[in-house]
Amino acid sequence: MATTAAEYVARHEIPVAEVRTDIGRATRPKIVGPDIPEPPFPIALAGPVQKGFGRGGKDLGCPTANLPDDSITPISTVLKTGVYYGYAQVVPPEERRTAFRPEDVKVLPMVMSLGWNPFYKNEKLTAEIHIMHAFQTDFYGHEMKAIILGYIRPELDYISREALIEDIEVDKQVALNCLQRPAYQRYVNEPAFALGGSDPRKPLRFLEEYII
C-alpha cells in the first residue's frame, strides 16, 4: 500500500519525487481511473480559502486556492501525494454574492495537488485546488466546497518551469476527460454543493459524515 501524505508528516519526512525528464516526448494517457469512482473516492470537504504562495497564477498560469490545514489533515490520512480531479464550488457570503457572476458560483471541474511541490521545495504539506474557470474577483476567505473523485498521477519534480507548466496543462485536460464519464458527472448535482446550503460555522465537516 502506498504511503499516505499523513504518514510522511508524522515521520517529519518529505518524500523524494521522481524528476520528469521526458516532457515533450512522452505521451500521457488522456483518461485515467475506472469508469465509476472507487474507494477511497469520493471524498468531500470544505473550508475557507487561504492565501498561498501566489505562484500558481503568476508563475504557472494556473491560480490555485489553498485549503486550510484542518482540511488537509483528514484527506492526507487516506491519500498519497499527487494530483487529483473532481469538482469544486466557491460559496461567497451573502453580503458578497453580488460581486460574483452566476457562472462563478457553479459547480466546476477542478484539479488538486496534494504534497510538497518539489519543484519549489516546499517544507510544508499543502493541498491546492485549481478550479477550471476564469474568475473575475478573488475569493480569499470565502468557503470552498470540493469533491475529490479520482487520482491522476504522482507528485513529480521537473527540469524547468516550462516542463512543469506543460504537465499541468495535461493534468487539466485529463481531469476534464475523466469527468465526462456519466458516473462522475452526477456529482455536479450533489446536495452538498447547494449554494447557501451549508453552515459557515462548520468549515470542515465532510470526510467522516459525508462519504457518498
What's the rounded Cα separation, in Å, for the pair 171 and 132?
11
Single out the residue of 55, 59, 68, 45 nearest to residue 124, CA to CA.
68
Look up 128 and say whether it is catalytic: yes
The residue annotated as part of the active site, out of 128, 143, 162, 190, is 128
Cα distance between residue 187 and residue 201, in whole Å: 24
Compute CA distances 180 → 54, 82, 84, whole Å: 30, 21, 15
By CB neighbour count within 10 A (0-12 exposed, 13-18 middle, 19+ buried), where does 109 fall? buried
Q: Angle at CA 74, nearest 5°, toward 72 and 79?
A: 80
33: nearest Cα among 186, 181, 188, 210? 181
- Preceding amide of 15 cis, omega within 30: no
Active site positions, annotated: 128
